[in-house]
Amino acid sequence: MSNCARHLGLDVHAETITATIAEGLGKIRSLGKFPNRAEAVRKLIEKLGGGKNLKVCYEAGPTGYALYWQLTKLGIDCEVIAPSLIPKKAGDKVKTDRRDAEKLAQCYQAGDLTPVWVPTLEHEALRDLVRQRAAAKTDESRAKHRLVKHLPRRGLREPEESGAWTHPWGDGSNR
């Protein structure tokens, strides 16, 4: 636990971010909700006096790592937190953006959060390429399946001498 650092918890959504800061023991202050836009994030950091003694965290999720990359580029110490490893109290089922941000700030200050590995921009670009290729192969497979199911409804059959999705003479020539 660090008493000199300020711990900023961010509840991040596609369109908005809700912020809460923990400054000193038991001093939690909500900073409100603002647009999830680079300029708004930069203004919040400036309002907090820049990155001096500031540690920021947010939950890993569908918004990815763009906020992490932006904050680290600004010189801010930022960690992306594993959502499944955030401590939960039994019976605490009420979730709001403000409460989530407060919980992140408090737990971050107490050292109770587990960060995830954040890929570099290059590594994330490669991951995106692999995901897109997998999606394209799934689309191709579905299209082939639809066509194979469509042929019998029209009374058509593929030639017996053809293999799956190859030309009947199978040697790759155009004869």
Max CA pair span of the chain:
81
Lowest mean pLDDT among 42-46, 86-90, 102-106, 126-130: 86-90
**How much is the pLDDT for 88?**
87
Give the per-residue pLDDT at 116. Answer: 96
66 and 136 together in one domain: no
Closest CA to 8 of 51, 63, 62, 64: 51
The answer to whether residue 164 is domain-embedded is: no
Residue 9: name the closest of 104, 114, 77, 85 by CA: 104
Tens-digit pLDDT profile for residues 66-91: 999 999 999 999 999 999 999 988 87
CATH of the domain at 81: 3.30.420.110
Residue 174 is predicted with a pLDDT of 56
Report the chain's mean pLDDT, rounded to a whole number. 89
- For residues 160 and 130, the model is more confident at 130
2: nearest Cα among 117, 112, 115, 114: 112
Q: Based on the number of CB atoms within 10 Å of its own CB, is 54 exposed (0-12), middle (13-18) or buried (19 or more)?
A: buried
pLDDT score at 169: 58
C-alpha pair distances (Å), 134 with each of 4, 124, 129, 167: 47, 15, 9, 25
The total of structural domains in the chain comes to: 2
Q: What is the pLDDT of residues 24-65, one digit of tens each?
A: 887 999 999 999 999 999 999 999 998 889 999 999 999 999
Claim to verify: residue 16 and residue 93 sit in the same structural domain: yes
Give the whole-angstrom CA distance, residue 23 versus residue 102: 12
Judgement on whether residues 14 and 91 belong to the same structural domain of the protein: yes
52 and 81 in a common domain: yes
Query: CA 108 to CA 157: how far, in whole Å?
Result: 64
Residue 162: pLDDT over 70: no
Closest CA to 45 of 97, 83, 10: 10
